[in-house]
Amino acid sequence: MTRSDSPATVGRRTPAGRRPLTSRAQISAIAIDLFAERGFDETSVDDIAEAAGIARRTLFRYYPSKNAVPWGDFDAHLDEMRALLAHIPTELPIADALLEALVSFNRVPPAEQDSHRRRMALLLGVPALQAHSMLMYADWRHVIAEFCATRLGVSEHDHLPQTIGWLCLGAALAAYEQWLADPNSDLERLIAEGGRTLAQGVGALS
């Protein structure tokens, strides 16, 4: 449930031996390829640093741990979602606003589908990543809760905004699980269906 990072270049050494410019997105993309090829547990931090053409200590300036690397520049994506929510007209009902945000945030260009699938397969399928993922999910839920709290005139820590945050997270994760299980499925359609169920309530299905 993280946006795909698709750097135009990867962090390999140049022919002249100079270290190229790197970014969180570039390092993450390189690591995703290594994890897919060798396995997450079998790939070390040193392997990632070597493939990116940087020192181990430099990698740790970008990421606090190997578990954080598959998430890419997630903080920047959260800022994008905050901006997206902030620009939704206030007259749009909160349920419709959340549906629009869920679909827009998780929209992946066709050219990035394969890399995004590899990333999400790691995040949802590797046991060693689950504890760290919960921290990232908490940050994502907080963005949703902040938006809902502003609309409802309550604290983002109140029960209702927090509940909506969990519901949105569940809808997104369910969509990703279905998408990973069926290569022919459409992620945007799954996100939209889950978002509509969230917006209408389970009672509307009976």
Tell me, what's the pLDDT at 78?
94
What are the C-alpha distances in Å from 12 to residues 26, 48, 187?
10, 11, 32
Instruction: Tell me, yes or no, whether 117 lies in a domain.
Output: yes
Tally the residues of the chain.
206
121: burial class by Cβ within 10 Å (0-12, 13-18, 19+)? middle
Number of folded domains in the chain?
1
Is 33 inside any structural domain? no
Q: Is 188 contained in some domain?
A: yes
Q: How far apart are CA 127 and CA 80, in angstroms?
A: 28
Residue 146 belongs to a domain: yes
Flag whether 135 is in a domain: yes
Q: Do residues 200 and 93 touch, judged by C-beta distance below 8 A?
A: no
| pLDDT score at 161 | 96
The predicted pLDDT at position 89 comes to 93
Residue 78 lies in a domain: yes
Residues in the chain predicted with pLDDT less than 70, given as ranges, are: 1-22, 202-206
122, HSE (Cβ side, Cα atoms, 13 Å): 30
Which residue is listed with tokens 């399928």?
125
Per-residue confidence (pLDDT) for residue 201, from 0 to 100: 83
What is residue 9's predicted lDDT score, i.e. its pLDDT? 38
pLDDT on residue 200: 87
Q: Is residue 164 part of a domain?
A: yes
The reported pTM is 0.85
Provide the 10 A C-beta neighbour count for residue 85: 21
In a domain, 178, yes or no: yes
Q: Name the residue range of residue 88's domain.
A: 73-205
Q: What is the pLDDT of residues 147-204, one digit of tens each?
A: 999 999 999 999 999 999 999 999 999 999 999 999 899 999 999 999 999 988 866 6
120 contacts 173 by C-beta, under 8 angstroms: no
Q: Within 13 Å and on the Cβ side, how many CA atoms surround 163?
A: 4
For position 196, which CATH number holds?
1.10.357.10
Asked if 116 and 108 count as a contact pair (C-beta separation under 8 A), the reply is yes
Model pLDDT, residue 94: 94
